[in-house]
Amino acid sequence: MLYEKPEALKPPRTDVLMMTPWFAPIVWDGTYNIDILNAQFHQRGVRVGITVFAIKKYVVFIKTFVETAEKFFMVGHDVNYYVFTDRADEVRQYNITLPAGRRLVVLEVPAYKRWQEVSMRRMEMIRDYSRQRFVNEVDYLVCVDVDMKFTDDVGVEILSDLFGTLHPGFYGAPRSRCTYERRSQSEAYIPADEGDFYYAGGYFGGTIEEVYKLTNFCHNAMMADKQKNIEAVWHDESYLNKYFLYHKPTKILSPEYLWDNGFGTREFLKRRRFVAVPKNHNAIRNRREAGAKRKVTEKFHRS
Ligand code: 5GW
Ligand code: MN
């Protein structure tokens, strides 16, 4: 294989942080050679699982999600889509035909009433299926939101033992502006003088073993908080941030991997690989639930 020699005195990017202080790469366009990585992962015959939840009305996002993933996600590698849903018939109706090596698996799960719980219970379900099923079928898991579409390549450059993603609303934020859980009674509590990055709840992954440990921690912390009648400010995302603070990710994805076009464009952002599909909040969420969440999006857009 022929490629340009890496140069010890010529960093490929100088406008962004490419490495954390614990030597985890931060993945940006221009910092890796996908041909080298593809050869390495092919040799190992890597199998990748991608989990999404399509509960209640969110089932409408599945078609675009899978169709765009077929164009851009792990092209040339074995992929299992794991779709957790309470509306299995509707998911099966899309009748997506996939090429050899790629499968769509529908997993029937209950629909929790509160949206906060729909979001938080993802941790428990991923944990349980990791132990029962994923461990036998795939090497890595990628756990993402479903209200998204792929618009550029997402390949094996993201894979590592344990990875998280910089939240597109907070990549440059100081600790004081990161929306960690600040109440010391909560299991998700992060003191004011701690925290590395603000990680997004909607994109994490790693080996089955590491994802099991992460989801098990987050679920147990949520249950402990529930006993104490407390729920962390940003739900599963708060517990995920707590986990990553004390179990540092071995790789971090830049906001190229999780963007919202509502944030506009940025000079450092060379590619937009996975972007939020705009939601009509009143149609997709029931009216009573819509208010609380909508405020958040507006807050992110102001920041
Ligand atoms: C419904 C109302 C409010 C918030 C979330 C939901 C909801 C989320 C739902 O009814 N069904 C569902 O499957 N979800 C899952 O949780 C989706 O996979 C969704 O991508 C994920 C996180 O919720 P989002 O995407 O609405 O959260 P934000 O912060 O990206 O807007
Ligand atoms: Mn989302």
List the domain range (segments joined by +) for residue 63. Answer: 26-302
Please name which ligand lies nearest the alpha carbon of 126: 1
Exactly one of 237, 256, 289, 298 is catalytic; name it. Answer: 237
Instruction: Examine residue 12 and state whether it is found in any structural domain, yes or no.
Output: no
- The CATH number of the domain holding residue 283 is 3.90.550.10
Instruction: Examine residue 4 and state whether it is found in any structural domain, yes or no.
Output: no
Whose CA is closest to atom 1 on ligand 1? Answer: 115
Instruction: Examine residue 190 and state whether it is found in any structural domain, yes or no.
Output: yes
> 56-85, pLDDT tens digit by residue?
999 999 999 999 999 999 999 999 999 999
CA 60 to centroid of chain Cα atoms: 19
Cα of 188 vs centre of ligand 2, distance in Å, is 21
The number of the ligand 1 atom at minimal distance from the alpha carbon of 119 is: 16
Residue 294: which pLDDT band, with cuts at 50, 70 and 90? very low
Rounded to two decimals, the pTM is 0.95
Instruction: Examine residue 7 and state whether it is found in any structural domain, yes or no.
Output: no
Instruction: Examine residue 14 and state whether it is found in any structural domain, yes or no.
Output: no
Instruction: Examine residue 81 and state whether it is found in any structural domain, yes or no.
Output: yes
Q: Is 145 in the pocket of ligand 1 (CB under 6 A)?
A: yes
- If one counts the domains in the chain, the total is 1
> 145-198, pLDDT tens digit by residue?
999 999 999 999 999 999 999 999 999 999 999 999 999 999 999 999 999 999
Please name which ligand lies nearest the alpha carbon of 277: 2
> 79-128, pLDDT tens digit by residue?
999 999 999 999 999 878 999 999 999 999 999 999 999 999 999 999 99
Q: 237 catalytic, yes or no?
A: yes
Instruction: Examine residue 213 and state whether it is found in any structural domain, yes or no.
Output: yes
Q: Is 46 in the pocket of ligand 1 (CB under 6 A)?
A: no
